[in-house]
Amino acid sequence: SQTIHQWPATLVQPVGSPLSLECTVEGTSNPNLYWYRQAAGRGLQLLFYSVGIGQISSEVPQNLSASRPQDRQFILSSKKLLLSDSGFYLCAWSGDSGFNQPQHFGDGTRLSIL
Amino acid sequence: EDKVVQSPLSLVVHEGDTVTLNCSYEVTNFRSLLWYKQEKKAPTFLFMLTSSGIEKKSGRLSSILDKKELFSILNITATQTGDSAVYLCATPLYQGGSEKLVFGKGTKLTVNP
């Protein structure tokens, strides 16, 4: 069966520090991968999605970036964190065999910027 | 603008009550509507609805879609404290060769013993 792993679960970082969040998927190949952010009291906002290695699409302008160095690995990064980057970050995957498949989420990373 | 609106935003009930959560949507080229349950961490998938009028059921949870009126409901009967969670609905939006989910803000359900 397919599983998705995200780490770390929680992270406290100072303003201006770098960030690297990692997500890996097991039990499937060539998944579609997604990074979402969930701010307090708001819905999930899509940040990035990827349909294959090295293919990244960005939804919103920001100081975050994403990379997909391997088929089942998706990384969210920042060179310098801002206070507004605080939130709950979720990675998700869906199958690549056509659209209209549900996305499945990792357990998320709760990021606090001080 | 593509959007998903959920109501109510929060709901407090007692164990054993039946609840109905609402989700309305406006999206270009609608294909499906999804319901998720989010407790403390990851949203977990509940249902995907593609056809009007066909109820999907899993235990005490059921959901139905009305593509004419552009809404869906999620029913939970005989609620339990373990049903306390945020319930999210979402619909996929296709662009640029891939898809993204457009989420509502969720309904926070609290079930008191």
The secondary structure of chain B as a DSSP string is: --EEEEE-SEEEEETT--EEEEEEEE-TT---EEEEEESSS-EEEEEEE-STT--EEETTEEEEEETTTTEEEEEE-S--GGG-EEEEEEEEEEETTEEEEEE---EEEEEE-
Q: A42 CB near a chain B CB, below 8 Å? A: yes
* B16 confidence band (pLDDT: 50, 70, 90): very high
Per-residue pLDDT of chain A (114 residues; tens, 9 = 90+): 889 999 999 999 999 999 999 999 999 989 999 999 998 767 788 899 998 998 898 877 678 999 999 999 999 999 999 999 999 999 999 987 656 788 999 999 999 999
pLDDT of B83 reads 97
Q: Which CATH number fits domain A3-113: 2.40.110.10, 1.10.10.10, 3.40.50.720, 2.60.40.10?
A: 2.60.40.10
pLDDT of A2 reads 86
Structure tokens given for A40: 């307090």
CA distance B18 to B80: 10
Structural domain spans, chain B: 3-112
The secondary structure of chain A as a DSSP string is: --EEEEE-SEEEE-TT--EEEEEEEES-SS-EEEEEEE-TTS-EEEEEEEEETTEEEESS-SSEEEEEEETTEEEEEESS--GGG-EEEEEEEE-SSSS----EE---EEEEE-
Structural domain spans, chain A: 3-113
pLDDT of A53 reads 92
Task: Please compute the mean of the pLDDT values over residues B79-104 and round it to a whole number.
Answer: 88
Q: A44 CB near a chain B CB, below 8 Å? A: yes
Q: A105 CB near a chain B CB, below 8 Å? A: yes
Q: Which CATH number fits domain B3-112: 3.40.50.150, 2.60.40.10, 3.40.920.10, 3.20.20.70?
A: 2.60.40.10
Taking only the tens place, the pLDDT of each residue in B32-71 is: 999 999 998 889 999 999 988 889 999 999 999 998 999 9
pLDDT of B62 reads 97
